[in-house]
Structure formats: C-alpha cells, structure tokens
A and B are shown apart, each in its own frame.
Chain A
Amino acid sequence: MVGRFIPSKFRWSALAAVLLAAGFWNQTHPLSGVLLAQQPSERQPLILDRPPVRLLSDPNPVFRAVAIDTEAGEVFMANDKESSGASILVYPTQFAPTDRIMEPRRRIAGPNTDMGMVCGLALSPQHGELYSVSGETGTLNVFSLRANGDVPPVRRLDGIIPRANAGVYLDAANDELWITTEHVNRLSAYRRTFEEDDEPLRFIQGPNTQLADPHGVYVDSEANEVYVSNHGNWRETQTGEGEVRGGDSLTRSSLGYNVPGRVLPLGPSTGRFLPASITVFSRTANGDAEPVRVIQGPRTLLDQPDGITQDPVTGEIIVANTGNDSVLFFAKDANGDVPPVRVLQGPLTKLGGPVGVSIDAKNNELWVANWDNHIAAVFPRTARGDMAPLRVIRTAAENAPLASMGRIGAVAYDAKRDEILVPN
C-alpha cells in the first residue's frame, strides 16, 4: 500500500519547486505508485500516470467508400479507421496488378481536415470538389479535388444537419447533395452550393418512409428517383427529428449525449427489426413520404446493404452487400421480393465486408471497397459469379489480420474465458 504525501509538513514555496520537478520526473519515469501532491486540497490524488502495458489496434487503413474521377483517372477512398488516422486516400485508377501494399498518390488527413469518421464520398469534376460525410459528426465537408495533406475544408455544412451521417451522393443534373443519416432514419437534400448553416431543400423522414438504418444513397436523375439502402433497424422517427436546434431540438436523439434537446416522455417503444431493403423515393418527395418502390425480402439476398450506385450502361442498381460478402445487381425497375439479376460472390472475388461500389465508365470497370480485408477490388463492369478481380489495391499484407475493430463503443472483460469483448 502506498503512503500519502502530507503537504502541511512543508513550506508551500519549497513544495511548489518539488512538485514541478516531481511532475517532470513523473512524466518520464515508469515507476508505479509514485505520489504527487497537486495543489492545496482536502485530498491529494494518487497519480497513476504510466504507459499502457499493451495496446491492441490495427494500424492499417480500410476502405469505407469509393468515388471515381474518371477524367483525371483517380479513385478516392474513405478510410474511417481511426487507429490508422482517418483519411481520404487517392490512387490512380489504372495501374499494373500487384499484390504489394500500394501507397496512395495523395492523402487528405490531419487535424485541419476535420475528417471525423469519414464514411461517405462524392465528387464533382466539373466544379473540382470532393464531398465527405462522417459517421461521427453532423457535417458535410468540401475539399478541392486536388487537395493533399492536412488541409481544411474549403466549405463546410454545419447547421441543423443531424448527427451521424452515412452516405452522400451528388446529383449533378440537379446540383443537389443527398445525405443519409443513420441515427434518425433520414434522407436530406441540400444545394451543392450550400452555405454553412443552410437548411435542407427537402428531407424525407417519418414513420411512412420505411427508412430503417439507412446507409448508401444514389440518385437516378433521369428517372427522378432516389435509392437508399437500409440495414433494417427501425424505430418510429418524427419528421424533423435530430435537427440540431439547441434546446429546441425536437429530441435528444442522434446519440449526441451533450446535445441539448427536449426530454421525451416515457412511452411505448416503437423499435422493430425489418428485413434489409432498398427504398426508392421520388426525387422531389418531401417529409413523411412513402417510397414508390421497396426491394425487400428473402429472394433479394439483401443482407446489411451499404454503398449503392447504378450501371450507366444497363441501368442496373448495384449494391455492396456487406452481410454476405457479395455485390448484388438489380433490374432498374426491381420492386418487392425479387432476386438480383447478377451476384458477384465467392472466394475468388476477394470480397470481404464490401461497403462501397462505383463504376468507372471510361474504363468499363466496377470498383468495390472492402472494409474487412483492407482491399479495393477492380472488376469488369459486367462481372458476376465467383471471379477474381482484375487487380486490387491493398493497405495491408495479404496475411494481415482482418480489420475488426472500428470506432469501438465499449470494452468488457469476460473472466470465465479471460477475454475482452469489443463492440463497434
């Protein structure tokens, strides 16, 4: 048992000098149980400052989302793995196949970028802009397409936008940015040219929308339809819920613990588990709107669907199906419990936790960002079945452990098994 320092036995001037020296010493010496009196007080805390004896983490970036600048021949990848330093990594779209770890051409990362857990990307070659959203914050950042290093966003949407976004898509034809917000089952549209505290042009949210833990978003501007992938975790949300309006916020939702808002009365719970789905809305829908179509049911094979896009040639809807390591392709007008027209899946594909999909129309290629195995895989646009990718970008050696921990929510110790449990 460690004894206690008794400040009353010393002159304060001498004590201050001792404390400063001891403070410096304590920062640099790994001796446990050293006591430092900190300030005059009824209690002098026992200072336990020492380094960790072990540290568990994966230092390798993962690929969370993918967006392609076909004209510049560059592919942008979101890396939300904070233990590797959250970043946007930029690679060439064309390169000689290699199994070696590939260094990015550019890397946007650092405290000035305000990157957060970057999980959604979109870009505009026409305007030279790159758009990112974070699963942690309620912001949308805009960077130059040529940005590199620790650079601040050139613009930032930071107004009433709910916290914890998932996907972002630029509808270039209508000059609108679309964002999904996972925590409050919401789909919002903003002017591409937004100012910092802009209100959305429109948003879809409420019990009739069937939005349930939404992730990816894609806009078919020709058909005037918006596609959203949903994991299926559902609760009844109120239209406008999650908007950050200080003490007048509709609720304390969004899991923003320190965000003020009205306290809800105790009342019946509304939560349910719905089958995973793709909900399709009119692009001009607003409020508690019903979807015009819903792709949902066991024949769809949807299982934790995430990133979503469209094949520019066939019009097929392409979905990164995280739950069973596949990419699903649906007919453009698919509705109800219908099977995909194509499935890309199998050990040769190297798909492992696919979360992002994008088409390189110039090179007729399909890109798939995989979270679990640190791989971005490139396939022919018409790929199907169990086929090997044309080439991959990897951020970890092939025999490296799979990425498992993300932003962890807790840690628990199981004494029976002498194990620790770490949920994301």
Chain B
Amino acid sequence: MSQPRISVYASSADGNAVPTRVIQGSRTRQARTSHYVSIDPIRDEFAVPNPFAQAILFFRGGADGNEAPLRTLQGPKTLLNQPDNVAVDPVHGEAFVAQFTTDSILVFPNTADGDVAPIRILHGPHTKLDGPIRVEVDPENDLMAVTTRDAVVFFNRTDEGDATPKWVLSGPKTGLGFSRITRDVKLYPKGKKIIAAARIRGRLPGPPGVEPFGDGHFIGVWQYGDNGDVEPWAVLRATPYTELMGRRLAFNEKTGDLFVGGDGIVQIYNLPEIFEAE
C-alpha cells in the first residue's frame, strides 16, 4: 500500500532524487491507487482517476501540495465504475476512460465538471473489449488503442457503439494478451508506432537464449497497421543486462527517452530508434 500522492521529478533526475513537487493531501481527492496520469499540454492540465470514489480529477499543470483539482467528474450520469485510467485528447478536447468492469470506453468533454454524461460510449460484443484497462488516443491520426485481457485493439478515434476494431494485436508472436498481463500502451503519432508493455509468466517456446521477449517484463514496439499475431517491430527485453522491471510507460520523443515505471522505481532508457519519424 502506498501513500495517495503524485511525486514530480525533473526528467533528468537520477537515483534517490528529491521531487520538485509532491501533490498530496485530502483536498487533492486522490486515492492511493492512481493508476494513470494524462497530460493536456493545450490546457496545461493533467487528469487522474480515482477508482474508489469513481471520479476523474483534472488538476492545474503546475499543481503542488494539498491543492484541489480544478474539476471533478463524478456522479450517476457519468456511468463511471472503478475507472482505472484516463487519456486526454487535447486536440479535440476529450477525455477517454477504459472501464474494465463494464467492458466499455467512455468519452467525455475534457472540460466536464460534476455529473456529466459521456458524449460517446464504445461497448458491445463486436468491439472485442474484454476487460479493457488502458486506452490511449492519437489525435493526429485519429486512432484509439485499448489494452484488453487478450490483446491490444484499435479503433478510429470517434468510433462508438458496438464498433468493430480496425486492427487487433494478439497471439503468441505478439507476446501480448491474457497470460502476458499487458499493461500500458502508448502511441507515437509522428512515427506511427505502438509501444506496449507486458509481463510474461514463464518462458515462451523457442530456442534457448533467443526468445524474443525474455522472461518477465518486456516492451514491444509495433507499427500502425500491424494486425493479428504479428511479432513486434522492436523489443526491449528483461535480462540481467537491461534490468527491465516495469510496465508503466511515458516518453520524451525529442530525447528518445522511454520512462518505464516499476515497483517503486522509474527506469529511463534511451531508445531514439523508436522515435524516428515515419
């Protein structure tokens, strides 16, 4: 169990660094299980879910200390049910929530405050949304990626209702899916890349020493349009050399740094190959 807080560090921080600011306290309305942060660079805000109180919190970008959120999305009309992530589309002014309890994606205006109904809902048997835990949006290419129990599924950004995915990444060659405990997925619009993190329990079949995914965590990179049981375009494996220990992802495309959050640690890998333009 951790303390309910968001620690903020300089991106160049190393070792046991002092945070530049810490957002904590009961006025912040955080629970101790904030499993996602989404940055809105246009409004200079960030959004955080609170699954226990079924709320989405929108903070000032430079929030500090025991600072209350600017807006709180919460109430019966929201249909929120243990929201575990939120992804803001700053270009189109929307906020997406993947809801694994109800197999749905809820979309709200990112200015929503209080008891506001979703403007779109993606939900139904054709969507292949089985336990969706993360959603990510690419506003430049009008794409939405969703991590589910068995796959990463892709939709058009504005899809709603019982829409069929345009691509599905799933199968043993992908290393993604149920037994692999896929976690975060990130989209890199300029290079049209898909970055996903998962953890494999036990080794996959293959010649000793040359498994594509290693034993434990791995990060795979795919290209837009990859569909089906497709090996990653690139992979960072967990080995004694890489010491990869996490599945929470963020990146700085300018420096080529990939930030990987693990259990009490953040590892920074410099992988400029991923962030080359298409």
Contact = CB atoms under 8 A, between A and B. Distances in A.
Interface of A: 1-2, 16, 19-20, 23-24, 27-28, 32-33, 36, 38-39, 41-60, 64, 80-84, 117, 119, 135, 164, 166, 182-183, 212-213, 231-235, 251-253, 255, 257-258, 263-273, 276, 303-304, 322-323, 353, 355, 371-372, 400-402, 404-424
Interface stretch (B138-146, B159-167, B268-276): B268-276
Interface residues of B, number: 116
Contacts of B230: 42-43
Interface string B64-85: 0000000000111111111011
A422 B266 contact: yes
Contacts of A38: 206, 210-212
Contacts of A408: 2, 248, 261-266
What are the nearest 5 A-B pairs in CB distance?
A: A406-B2, A271-B54, A135-B1, A83-B264, A233-B52
Q: Binding site of A, secondary structure by majority: helix, strand, loop or mixed?
A: loop
Interface of B: 1-20, 22, 25-26, 29-39, 41, 44, 46, 48, 50-55, 61-62, 74-82, 84-85, 100-104, 121, 123, 131, 133, 149, 173, 178, 181, 184, 206-207, 209-212, 219-221, 230-237, 239-243, 248-252, 254, 257, 259-271, 273-274, 276
Contact of A258 (B181, B243, B268): B181
B8 A252 contact: no
A409 B36 contact: yes
Contacts of A253: 82, 101
Given A27-B241, A231-B4, A268-B77, 6 more contacts: A55-B243, A57-B265, A257-B133, A408-B265, A409-B34, A411-B248
A420 B2 contact: no
A2 B79 contact: no
Given A58-B264, A424-B32, A234 B53 contact: yes
Nearest to A28: B241
Given A23-B209, A39-B210, A424-B2, A53 B268 contact: yes
A200 B271 CA distance: 50
B102 A410 contact: no
5 contacts: A48-B235, A50-B270, A257-B100, A402-B18, A420-B11
B11 to A, nearest CB: 5
Given A20-B209, A47-B234, A58-B16, A252 B131 contact: yes
A364 B266 CA distance: 42
Tell me which of B13, B17, B32 has the highest count of chain A C-beta atoms within 10 A of its own C-beta: B32
B100 A422 contact: no
B45 to A, nearest CB: 10
Contacts of B133: 257
A263 B102 contact: yes
B6 A39 contact: no
Given A16-B207, A233-B31, A420-B9, A264 B81 contact: yes
Nearest to B4: A424
B144 to A, nearest CB: 18
Contacts of B270: 32, 50, 53
